[in-house]
DNA sequence: GCGATTTGCCTATATGTATTAGGCAATTAC
DNA sequence: GTAATTGCCTAATACATATAGGCAAATCGC
């Protein structure tokens, strides 16, 4: 029998694609096995469990998202950086809804430590360098930015904004603009 | 054999309690049947499916949350109303994490129409009456408030803020304060 | 090249959840 | 008290997770 050439890497990549197609919550070992045309048990040589697979997809998504954000931030500061960060974040979620959901998968401590979570935190703090905000306000601001961006994307993806005619793109711009003003006013000299 | 006295109402209430104990994603027909000491099939006389049960819990949570927010907003305006709204929202999520997660369950259109979703939207708009913000800015502001509050609660619940020593309560106050200032500055006379 | 070892995917099996069909007993209606 | 109803049951199907052990293909050692 010809071998399918399964590897942990390939399974996680295919799992990420599957997540974007059918939703992260519907990514199963069974569906992945069907996709590769192999039996379910065969996957267990490459991933320890369903949870392990999901963790792998989550780590991949966090990495990809961090790469995009890093790219977006390169050479920008202040309002520009804020807008680029916001755009990178929202675009990723819209292009890869399943991966984005995966990035929000609750990781156990070891996985979290090995994740790109630290890069994300660093980059959010980097944005604030353009605004002169000292601790502990800086941490408050980091949390606020994370909350707005994540919250907006989450509500938008779950259809929360579809009951009003107002263009979500315009709301997004308005919000980024407002946050810029807010951070500027919060400067601690 | 003695009857257990199952009703749709009781199942949904027990499901909500179960959600708070083990997480909304672990609420299953099986677990609920165990809790009542009956066989799994017995529940199907009262709920159509697992999805139906989850929808019921989601509707319950939305209703409860709307009640709390309505209570908190009564007799308040401006900054007071904003702070009360924020507190009601966050407190509910912390006291009832499973129900809160349920409130974010994607409802199908019919269920959404019958839900307290409309009340939530109305109440968020009511807060903005204290700030004189005209359309379409009002919708932008509604979306921003929803995003920040939901995003913050979601990140806090998933442990996103546990890597820094800064007290989440203080960040929350700082954010509410910032939003108040922001909305005040955005007045459209 | 060719035997030996490793590795990859298989079959078989056990467990848990969701769901439907149909049965019998407890409750309620008259 | 009999009859209709309702509530919970057993039984059966389908699908997902997970483990154990087998056989053949790829790879290693020479």
Contact assignment for A155 to B143 by CB distance below 8 Å? yes
With 80 as the cut, is the pLDDT of residue B44 above it?
yes
Residue A33 scores a pLDDT above 80 = yes
Which residues of B are less than 8 Å from A121 in CB distance? 163
| The pLDDT of residue B3 | 67
Please report whether residue B13 resides in a domain.
Answer: yes
Identify the band that residue A48 occupies on the pLDDT scale cut at 50, 70 and 90. Answer: very high
Beta carbon of B47 within 7 Å of strand D? no
For every residue of B167-188, DSSP letters joined together read -HHHHHHHHHHHHHHHHHHT--
- How does residue B32 score in pLDDT terms, banded at 50, 70 and 90? very high
B80 located within any domain: yes
pLDDT per residue over B144-163, tens digit each? 999 999 999 999 998 888 88
**For residue A79, what are its two tokens?**
């309002």
Please tell me the distance from the alpha carbon of residue B52 to that of residue B47, in angstroms, as a whole number: 6
pLDDT for residue B101: 95
Give A3-20 pLDDT, tens digit per residue. 667 899 999 999 999 999
What's residue A187's pLDDT?
Answer: 84
Q: Do B152 and A160 touch (CB under 8 A)?
A: no
pLDDT at residue B160 in the model: 83
Per the structure, the count of domains in chain B is: 1
* Rounded distance between C-alpha atoms, residue B102 and residue B106, angstroms: 9
Can you give the CATH number for the domain in which B69 is found? 1.10.357.10
Residue in B158, B160, B173 to test binding to A, most A beta-carbons within 10 Å: B160
Residue A1 counted as domain residue: no
Contact pairs from chain A to chain B, CB under 8 Å: 104
Using C1' positions and the CA of A53, the closest nucleotide is D17
Residue A104, classed as helix, strand or coil, is: coil
C-alpha to C-alpha distance for B143 and B154, rounded to whole angstroms = 16
Q: Determine if strand C comes within 7 Å of the CB of B28.
A: yes
Residue A46 lies in a domain: yes
Whether residue A12 lies inside any domain: the answer is: yes
B68-102 core/surface letters (b: 16 or more CB in 10 A; e: else): bbbebbeebeebebbbbbbbbbbebbeebbbbbbb
- b/e per residue A156-165 (b: at least 16 CB within 10 A): bbeebbeeee
- How much is the average pLDDT of B167-173? 96
Tens of pLDDT, residue by residue over A152-183, are: 999 999 888 888 899 999 999 999 999 999 99
Quick one: tokens of B6? 């199952």
| pLDDT (0 to 100) of residue A160 | 83
Tell me B189's DSSP state.
Answer: -
Residues of B in contact with A106 (CB under 8 A): 158-159
User: Would you state the pLDDT for residue B84?
Assistant: 96
The answer to whether residue A53 is domain-embedded is: yes
pLDDT digits (tens, 9 = 90+) for A84-125: 999 999 999 999 999 999 999 999 999 999 999 999 999 999
SS3 B15: helix
CA distance B57 to B103: 8
| Per-residue CA distances from A77 to A57, A81, A128, A129, A130 (Å) | 31, 5, 9, 8, 6
CA B170 → CA A107, A146, A189, B165, B166, distances in Å? 26, 16, 20, 11, 8
Concatenated DSSP letters of A20-51: HHH-GGG--HHHHHHHHTS-HHHHTTT-S-HH
> Residue A132's domain spans which residues?
8-185
CA distance B56 to B103: 10
CA distance A43 to A30: 9
Nucleotides of D under 7 A from a protein CB: 7-12, 15-21, 24-26
Buried-state track B161-185, b at ≥16 Cβ within 10 A, e below 16: beebebebeebbebbbebbbebbee
- pLDDT score of A2: 63
Quick one: pLDDT at residue B158? 86
- Encoded tokens for B2: 């003695």
Per-residue model confidence as pLDDT tens digits over B91-122:
999 999 999 999 999 999 989 999 999 999 99
Q: Round to a whole number and report the distance in Å from the CA of B66 to the C1' of D3.
A: 47
B1, part of any domain: no
Cα–Cα distance measured from residue B125 to residue A163, given in angstroms and rounded to the nearest whole number: 14
pLDDT tens, B47-96? Answer: 999 999 999 999 999 999 999 999 999 999 999 999 999 999 999 999 99
Any strand C atom closer than 7 Å to B29 CB: yes
Residue A51 has pLDDT above 90, yes or no: yes
Interface test with B, best of A119, A138, A143, A145 (most B CBs within 10 A): A143
A18 found inside a domain: yes
């Amino acid at each position: 029998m010809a071998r399918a050439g399964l590897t942990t890497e390939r399974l996680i990549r295919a799992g990420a694609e599957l997540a974007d197609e059918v939703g992260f919550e519907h990514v199963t070992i069974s569906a992945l096995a069907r996709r590769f045309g192999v039996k379910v048990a065969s996957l267990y040589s490459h991933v320890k469990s369903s949870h392990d697979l999901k963790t792998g997809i989550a780590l991949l998504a966090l990495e990809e998202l961090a790469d995009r954000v890093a790219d977006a931030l390169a050479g920008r500061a202040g309002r520009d950086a804020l807008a680029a960060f916001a755009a990178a974040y929202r675009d990723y979620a819209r292009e890869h809804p399943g991966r984005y959901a995966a990035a929000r998968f609750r990781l156990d401590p070891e996985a979290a430590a090995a994740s790109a979570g630290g890069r994300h935190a660093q980059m959010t703090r980097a944005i604030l360098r353009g605004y002169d905000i000292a601790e502990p306000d800086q941490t408050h601001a980091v949390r606020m930015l994370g909350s707005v961006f994540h919250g907006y994307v989450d509500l938008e993806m779950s259809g929360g904004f579809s009951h009003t005619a107002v263009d979500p793109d315009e709301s997004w711009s308005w919000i980024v603009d407002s946050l810029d003003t807010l951070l500027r006013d919060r400067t601690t000299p």
